[in-house]
Structures are given as structure tokens and as C-alpha cells.
Amino acid sequence: MADTIRVAGDTLPGADMNASLLEVDGLRVDFTVRRKRIPAVRGASFTLDQGTTLAIVGESGSGKSVTSQAIMGILDSPPGHITGGEVRLRGVDLLQQDEETKRTVRANHIAMVFQDALSALNPLWSVGFQIGELYRVHRGTSRKDAKQKAIELLDLVGIPDAKNRIGHYPHQFSGGMRQRVMIAMALALDPEVLIADEPTTALDVTVQAQIMRLLKKIQQERNMGLILITHDLGVVADVADDVAVMYAGEIVEQASIHDTFARPAHPYTKALLRAIPRVDTVGRELEVIRGLPPNPASLPSGCPFHPRCWAVEPKKCSSEVPPFEPVADDHRSRCHFAKEVYRDER
Amino acid sequence: MSELAVPKPEPEAKQASLWKDAFHTMRRRPDVIIALVILLFVFAMAAFPALFTDKSPTRCIGREARQRPDTWFRGEHPLGTDAFGCDFAATIVHGTRPTIVLALTVIVLAVLIGLVLGMLAGYYGGWLDAVISRMLDVFIVVPLLLGAILLLSLFRGRGSSGNVIETVAPAAIALTIFGWMEFCRYVRAATIETKNLDYVVAARCLGAKDRRIMFRHILPNAIIPVTAVVPTTIGAIIVTESALAVLGIGVQPPATSWGVLLSNGTQWAGGGYIYLFGLPLLLLVLTVFAFATFGDALRDALDPKLR
């Protein structure tokens, strides 16, 4: 599937196929609220390689959704402004492109799956029409062929009886089926990067697993890069390859999924993992992280996590901003005591 | 997914089309059938007046003036004659075409202007919104009659040649210029509400252009509140036209319209000739009812959001 012949005009001018699929480098996003600049994303950097899945995990307000909006170029502006950094797709900085190029990049190269498929599908058009429209508009496909393509896609995402479901409206589908339709739409133009912003939050637990498995399957079949944005570490455990944990607009820990679960190197990640209900902790009170995420308008001095940290060294943590440093190969953490936390000495 | 059993599609449970469904829903409502009959009747009068009367509305005999309608609507003049001795049935029937043409022209033009301006203002916002909104305020503030008198001075004295377009043109222009604001407001509000919905953002994510977003995603939603006001506005247009008739810029004589009949009828309604006022009013009320019922039912039947 990855070797599909691309239609002329579909390739990104200046793209270097040897460069990483998607590199986000020092991305900064500010929101202007009542003439005050409030940082939402403070220098996020990560790399997504072809055929891998990156999970961006964080609490509400940690900047994970804003990051994805900035990559897609759909940030509400005003109030949002990208004030720095680069988003490179195959080496091309998307932030420097004109509006027309950005428009073709969306859908053709980067597509997005939204949280709530009911509101992300237009209630007034049948799903077949909405999927087919993408082919008609971007590829100039005829109505009949577009319909055929839509049926194939619905089939691919596991909608039974796709041929007859094509004329149905979004309200006639169940939540899980709707999310499948949404995924089908995002896949229509064969993008290289798929961003799924909390794709399973609105669904039942059993359906969550199905959708996650579907995303994983499609990602592998098409050799895409997949970014999963979620607040639920449990959901990503068996689909993601790498995890980036965000806190207060920064990535505080980045590692492979295995390392993150086995040997977290940041007190925040460790606390998050402890807060997941597990079979062997049944009957005991669930651990929680004290306090609330910081207000981005007035971040704590030093390490932004120090007021909630269980491993805090008051003097150092409240005055010095910790560096983002490696604790092992491909494992970085933004903590003064990363090594100690990593070795489980703290 | 493979673990899902694929239900066998039943041949007889074939998915009915949207319009077929709508037809079935509407067929079961008696009010809709009544409304349809009234609309057919009115449109037939507008299209083929000769089917309903064999008299000419312009053949008026002075000594036959103000004959009251026959009790059983029989005889030479089933609906009586008006103040000038013209057969009233013929007058009403022949007044239907200008009335309907005027009402439909004005509603189509006003909705079009309102839609375009409202959508532009709501979608792009900023200075364009400011300009359109202020212009809208100005048009709302200028009283209709004042504006109409200004227009009147442009058209006064031009007799009509019997061509229906020329007959209704002055009134249509005046009513359109002062009739688009309400639609513009509704559409602007609906556009602002719709443009930040997830599926519009999703469409943008999938590389849709502004124009496509406006026509495919915003327009079908923005038009829903408008459809609710259209039928009553049609009634208002016909009534307002009667006010213009008093000023002489309504439908130009010798042609008549229901509005002209209403305005003429008010002079005689108090003097025992209530039918001169009552019959056109009854027709107007029935027509507005029919438009409103039909429009409402059509919207209920077609809008998947209300299902």
C-alpha cells in the first residue's frame, strides 16, 4: 500500500525522501488572551518515522491537542500563534509554506481523526457522499468511481455490508461504526501521517480496543506514521512504539513504550503509571497525583512539576529549570533526578 | 473486523432514498395534503386564470357596481362586483398571477442576497463582517415606506404594458431592497455557529477550500432557520404590497394583485361590503397557511438532524 503510485501534483515540492517522515523541532505556540501571551506549547520536539506509532500522553491542558493542531495547520488564529520552531515533513518546513500548499498537505500527506465522530461528520450528507467527495475534489474521480472507492474504504475499516451502508447518514451509525467512518475518511487520500486526537475517548471500553486494533492494523498495512494523542496510557500500551509525555506545554519524557512502562525516568510519568488501576492493586485505594495541572499563564518557577512532585528537592527544583537529557539510549527525561528515578532509587 | 458477523442484507429492506422517505412521511399528514391542495389551486389560478373565470377583470359596468355576492355563489357575478362594477371573481383570479410572481421574485432575491452577504460576513468576519453588518443596520433603520417613496419617484407615471414582470418590477425592487436583512441576520448567525463545528474543521483538515466549506457544509445548515421564516415572509410581502399600492408603486394598473384588492377593500369593508376586503384576505391567509405547513413538513421530512 505504501508504494501506491502518487498522482502528479500530489508530491510535496522539495521533499527529501531520505529525511524523517515528520520532525517537530522546538515548536512554540502562544495564545493571546486579553493582550497577554500565554504559552501553550513551549518548545516541543519529536520525530516520527515511517511505519511507527508515537503516543503523545498528557493531562488536559498539557498542550498535546494544540501541538497536533499546529502540525495540521488548523490552529485557531487568533488567539493561537505559532511563535517558533519547525514542523518538517520529509525535510520540508510546513510552517513556511503558503496557504495553498498547506491545504494540499492536509489530507494528501497528513490526515486527522477526531475525538467525537458524530460532530466531525456532517449530519446532512450521507457517509458515502462525504468520503466520495474527497476523491471527486482532490483526484477528479467520477461520481461512480468515487462511490466505489468509498465502499472499498468502508469495507477496509470493517463496516459490515458497506455497499448498503454507503447511503446512510452519520446518525444511523453507532459510535464505534462512526469512528470507523471517520478513520475511512482520513485514510481516503492515502496520507503518510495520521494524527488521531483521542480517537477512543467517546467510546465504550470494548469498542475502544477494536478501534485501536484497527488503527494499528491500518498503520502497519500502509506503513504510515501514526500519532496517537491521548490521556490514557493504558489505551496506547499495545499499539504505540514510542511515548512522549507532555506536561505544561513541554515534553517531559520520551522513550520507547517498553522503557516508559518498565523504567520511567520522570516522577510525573511514574505517578501516571501508578494511577492506572491494575489487577494486583484491587482493593487498595487508587493512587492519584496531588494538585492540578499548572495554569500556563503563571507557571511555577524552576521545574513546572515541582509543586506536585513526590521526589522534589525544594531548593533545586523550584529555582532551576531541569534540562532535557538522556538517561539511556533513546530515553530522555526533563528532571534533575532523572537518573535516580530511572534506577528506581528515588 | 473479522470477528463481526456480517448480517445478511434482506432484499425487501432496501434502503429507501431520502426523497422517498420524505414522501412517505408527508403523505401521512392530512394538514400537508390540505396545504398541497390550496397551493395547487393558487398556482393554477396564477397560471391559467381562464380556467376559473370567463369574464374580463377590465370590463366594468358602472351601474352594476357594488353588487353583493349571490347567496349560493350563482348568477352573473358569483362573488359580486367591486366599487367600479368589475366582476370580483375575475378580479381576484386575474390578480393572482402578479401576486404570486411578486411574492416569489421578492423571496428568491431577498433570500439570495441575505444568504450571500450573511455567509460572507459570518465566515470571514473582520472588516467584511463590520461593513455588511453596518449596512444591514442602515437598511433596518430606514423605514420601508420612506425608502419606497424614494423609489416611487423613479417609477411614477410609467404605465404597465400588461407584461407581468414589468407590472410587478417596481414593487419587487422596493420590497427586495428592504427585505433581505432578516435573512442576512439569520444566515450570519448560523454561519458563525456552524463554522467552528468539528465537521467544518474536519473538512478543512481534509483539504477543503473556503468555497467548498461554505457551500457544502455551512450553507445547508444556515438555510434551515431561513426556511422557517420564508412562508410567513411571503404573507408579509403580499400585505406590504398593499401598502405600496396606496402610494401608487404597487402593482401598476390596469393589472391588480391581492395587495391592491386588500387596500381598495379596506375603504368599503366598513360600509357593508366586507366581501371586498374579506375574500382577498381569506385567500391570503389560506396561501400563507399552505406555504407554512408545506415548508414545515418538507423540512421535517428532509432534515436528517431531526430524525
Question: What are the φ/ψ torsions at residue A202 (nearest 5 degrees)?
Answer: -90, 10
pLDDT over 90 for what percent of chain A?
1
Options 2.40.30.20, 1.10.3720.10, 3.40.50.300, 3.30.70.890; CATH for A22-109+191-342 is: 3.40.50.300
Secondary-structure percent of chain B, ordered helix, strand, coil, rounded to 5: 70, 0, 30
Q: How large is the ipTM?
A: 0.70
DSSP string, B223-277: HHHHHHHHHHHHHHHHHHHHHHHHHT-SSPTTS--HHHHHHHHHHHHTTT-THHH
Residue of B nearest to A191 (CA): B206
Distance from CA of B305 to the nearest CA of A (A): 6
For the residues A89-104, what does the mean pLDDT come to? 82
Domains of chain B: residue spans and CATH: 20-65+77-306 (1.10.3720.10)
pLDDT band, very low/low/confident/very high, at A339 (cuts 50, 70, 90) = confident
* pLDDT higher than threshold 90 for residue B235: no
* Stretch B243-255: mean pLDDT: 73
For chain A, give every residue range classified as CATH 3.40.50.300: 22-109+191-342
Give contacts of B6 with chain A, Cβ < 8 Å: 160-161
pLDDT at residue A9 in the model:
44
Chain A CB contacts of B9 under 8 Å are: 161, 163-164
Please tell me the predicted confidence (pLDDT) of residue B118.
92
Model confidence band, residue B14 (pLDDT cutoffs 50, 70, 90): very low
CA B32, CA A238: separation in Å to the nearest integer?
Answer: 57
Interface of A with B in 173-202 (CB under 8 A): 182, 185-186, 188-189
**A158 vs B contacts (CB less than 8 Å):** 1-2, 4
Residue of B4, B8, B205, B213 to mutate when probing chain A, most A C-beta within 10 A? B205
Band of pLDDT at residue B108, cut at 50, 70 and 90: very high
DSSP symbol at B218: I
Cα–Cα distance measured from residue A105 to residue A119, given in angstroms and rounded to the nearest whole number = 23
For A104, which of B2, B207, B216 is closest by C-beta distance? B207
CA-to-CA distance for A113 and A157, rounded, in angstroms? 13
Tell if the CB–CB gap between A119 and B209 is shorter than 8 Å.
Answer: no
Chain B contact set for A114 (CB, 8 A): 198, 201-202
- pTM of the complete model: 0.72
pLDDT of residue A13 exceeding 80, the answer is no
Q: What pLDDT is stored for residue B133 in this prediction?
A: 92
* Residue-wise pLDDT tens digits, B68-94: 666 666 666 666 677 666 777 788 888
pLDDT digits (tens, 9 = 90+) for B118-160: 999 998 888 999 999 999 998 888 877 788 777 777 766 555 5
Q: What is the pLDDT of residues B33-54, one digit of tens each?
A: 888 899 898 888 888 877 777 7
Asked whether the beta carbons of residue B207 and residue A138 sit closer than 8 angstroms, the reply is: yes
| Candidate from A72, A105, A120 with C-beta closest to B199 | A120
Residue B280 has pLDDT above 60, yes or no: yes
The per-type count for chain A, helices as H runs and strands as E runs, is 13, 12
pLDDT tens for each residue of A182-194: 888 888 888 888 9
The minimum CA-CA distance between A95 and chain B, rounded to whole Å, is 15
Residue with cell 526533563: A334
- When CB atoms are compared, the residue of B197, B205, B220 closest to A119 is B197
pLDDT over 80 at A2, yes or no = no
- The predicted-structure confidence for A291-304, as pLDDT tens digits, reads as follows 888 888 888 888 88
pLDDT digits (tens, 9 = 90+) for A220-247: 888 888 999 988 787 788 888 899 999 8
pLDDT digits (tens, 9 = 90+) for B185-233: 999 998 988 888 888 888 887 777 888 888 888 888 788 778 778 887 8
**Bridge-based pairing state of the strands A225-230 and A250-256:** unpaired
